[in-house]
Amino acid sequence: MLFDFNVISQWLHGALTSVMPEWAAILTESILVALAIITLYAVFAIILIYMERKICAFFQCRLGPMRVGKWGLLQLFADVFKMLTKEIISMRQSDRFLHNLAPFLVVIASMLTFACLPWNKGAHILDFNVGVFFMLAASSIGVVGILLAGWSSNNKYSLIGAMRSGAQIISYELSIGLTMLTMMALTGTLQISEIVEQQYAEGWNIVRGHVPAVIAFLIYLIAGNAECNRGPFDLPESESELTAGYHTEYSGMHFGFYYLSEYLNLFITAGIATTIFLGGWAPLHIIGLDGFNGVMDYIPGIVWFVGKTLFVVFLLMWIRWTFPRLRIDQILALEWKYLVPISLVNLVVMAIVAAYGFHF
C-alpha cells in the first residue's frame, strides 16, 4: 500500500491544537502550506529552466550551460541573483498601477493551479468536489495579467503580443475544456483526488478509455503547449517580430515573474495531464502480475507523480524544439477548424463508451 499523507496532516493538526487554539493551529498550517508551495514553485522552476537549456542543446547538437558549476548546475543560481539585483524600470507613459499589477496576477494564477496538483495520496492542498472546474478557472486568470501587461506598457509591440496571446489562450482553452469533459465522462467525477483514486483501483485513464482517451491526450498536449505560449505557438513573444512580446517593457524581478510563471505553467500543464490521463500518483499496475504490482507499490506516489510529469514536460519540450513557429492565422485555424470539431466528436464517442461500458 502507498503511504497516505493524511496520517502526517492529522498528526500535525493534533500536535498544534494541543498547544494552541483551533484558529491559531489552522493559521499555522496555512502558513506552512504557503511556504511549501513557494518552495516547490521555486525548486521546480529552477529544475525546468535547466532541463529546457540542456534539452534544447541536445536537439541542436550543443552542450548547453557548462561553465558555472559542475555541468552548468550553478548557472541558474547566477541568473537568479542577476535578476534579483536588476533595477525595475518604470516607463513614463505607462499605466504604472496596472503595469506593476500584471506580473502578480500571472504568478497568482499559476500558484492557485499549482496548489490543485495531487502529489501523493493525501498530499493535495486544494481538493474540491468541482476541482477540475476550479483548476481551469484559476488557470484562466493568467490571461488577464498578460492582457494588462500589453495594454499598460504603452508599447505597440507589447500590445500586439498581448492581443495575440489573448486570442490564442482563450481559443485553446476550449480544446482543453473539451478534453477535460471527455475524461470526466469516463471517470464520472470532478474531484481530483477521486479521479486519481479511481485510476489507482481500475487503471490509468489513458488505458481504460483506449482510443478516445489517447485522442484526448494528444489534443491536450497540443492545446497545453499553446496555453503556455511555447513554440510552435510562441507568437505572443516572437522575438523576430515583437522584441519580446507582451513583457518587452518589463525588467528586473517583474520580468522574472513572467519567466518563472512560463516554466511553472509548463509543469502545471504536464501535471494536469499526468493527473487526468496517466494516473497521477498511482503506480503502474498490470492485471495478473501481482508480484510486479506489489513491487510498484513500494515506489512512493510522489516519485510516480514527479516522474510522469517530467516525462510529459520532455514531450512538450520535444515539440517546441522540433516544429517551426506557426503564423497566427495557422494557429487559430488549427484550433477552430480541426481541434474543436475533433474534440466534440471525441466527447460524444467517450460518452457512448462510458454509457455502454466499452472501457476496460
Q: Which letter does DSSP use for residue 72 in this model?
A: G
User: Is residue 163 included in any domain, yes or no?
Assistant: yes
Residue 1 pLDDT:
58
Angle between helices 156-187 and 210-227 (to 10 degrees): 160
Cell matching residue 4: 497516505
User: Is residue 1 included in any domain, yes or no?
Assistant: no
Q: What is the CA radius of gyration of the chain?
A: 21
**Residue 286's domain spans which residues?**
6-355
Residue 288 pLDDT:
75
Give the separation between CA 219 and CA 182, rounded to whole angstroms.
Answer: 11
User: Is residue 360 included in any domain, yes or no?
Assistant: no
Residue 220 pLDDT:
94
Task: Write out residues in the chain with pLDDT < 70, as ranges.
Answer: 1-2, 236-244, 359-360
Which of 326, 320, 324, 325 minimizes the C-alpha distance to 59?
320
User: Is residue 278 included in any domain, yes or no?
Assistant: yes
Cβ partners under 8 Å of residue 170, min gap 6: 143
User: Is residue 104 included in any domain, yes or no?
Assistant: yes
Residue 40 pLDDT:
86
User: Is residue 346 included in any domain, yes or no?
Assistant: yes
User: Is residue 59 included in any domain, yes or no?
Assistant: yes
Give the separation between CA 195 and CA 105, rounded to whole angstroms.
Answer: 29
Per the structure, the count of domains in the chain is: 1
User: Is residue 44 included in any domain, yes or no?
Assistant: yes
Condensed to tens digits (0 to 9), the pLDDT of residues 295-326 reads: 888 888 889 999 999 999 999 999 888 888 88
